[in-house]
Amino acid sequence: MSEPMTPMTNRTSPFADENDVAFFPSAEDGYEDGNALAGPLSELFAVDVVSAEGQCTGCGTTGPVAQLRVYGAGPGPGLVARCPVCGQVVLRVVRGNESAWLDLRGTVSLRFRVGTDQ
């Protein structure tokens, strides 16, 4: 018999555990490309984040943030960006009235080109 669920108290992050939701990508998914992250992430960073290269923790694919599949780009408070190869959640952004949260658990790293060599 499983233990009863207990509510989280003093929650500081709006992100659920990645194991809470199963995801099976299909051709009919209503996603946008990673460019949908440009506006929300420009509030947090002074550089163009969608041109940064990230690496997926799930399959190791490396590419620009602009190639991610972004879900939730409607009127809701958050966005979920998934790897276009394996469907792993790479990053999540949630915006509240006075705070924003950026979850990069699915990203090994982000590489930003800086200086005049862009």
Q: What is the pLDDT of residue 4?
A: 42
Q: What is the chain's mean pLDDT, rounded?
A: 77
pLDDT over 80 (residue 93): yes
CA distance 92 to 71: 10
Most confident of 20-24, 36-40, 86-90: 86-90
Residue 34 pLDDT level (bands cut at 50, 70, 90):
confident
Q: What is the pLDDT of residue 76?
A: 78
HSE toward the beta carbon, residue 115, CA cutoff 13 A: 1
Q: State the pTM of this model.
A: 0.63
- Say what the alpha-carbon torsion angle 98, 43, 53, 12 is, to the nearest 10 degrees: 0
